[in-house]
């Protein structure tokens, strides 16, 4: 859906897609993004985030786990 939002708001678009090294998932993400940019129907179903708080908790959880795993390498924490 981000492709549709970008296409609706900008005349010229350049995109660099980072991450997504899962070879089964990345092509689906790429095709959905291109379909959105080209204003076509998405080929693959995406799970939607239904709340901003869910996104916040996901971020905070991953951040805490990363800090826990890496703190032995950091002198400042």
77: confidence class by pLDDT, cuts 50, 70, 90: low
pLDDT digits (tens, 9 = 90+) for 7-16: 999 888 888 8
Contacts of 44 (CB under 8 A, 6+ apart): 28, 31, 32
Q: Return the pLDDT at 21.
A: 77
List, as one string, the DSSP characters of 46-58. -PPP--HHHHHHH
The pLDDT of residue 1? 80
Q: What share of the chain is helix, strand, coil (3-state, %, to 5)?
A: 55, 0, 45
- Its pTM surpasses 0.75: no
Q: Is the predicted pLDDT of residue 49 greater than 90, yes or no?
A: no
Which pLDDT tens digit goes with each residue over 32-44? 999 999 999 999 9
Boundaries of every domain in the chain: 1-46, 49-77
């Amino acid at each position: 859906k981000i492709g549709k939002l970008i296409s609706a708001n900008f005349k010229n678009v350049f995109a660099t897609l980072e991450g997504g090294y899962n070879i089964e998932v990345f092509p689906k993400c790429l095709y959905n993004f291109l379909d959105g940019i080209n204003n076509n129907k998405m080929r693959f179903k995406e799970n939607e985030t239904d709340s901003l708080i869910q996104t916040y908790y996901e971020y905070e959880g991953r951040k805490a786990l990363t800090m826990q795993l890496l703190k032995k390498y950091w002198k400042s924490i």
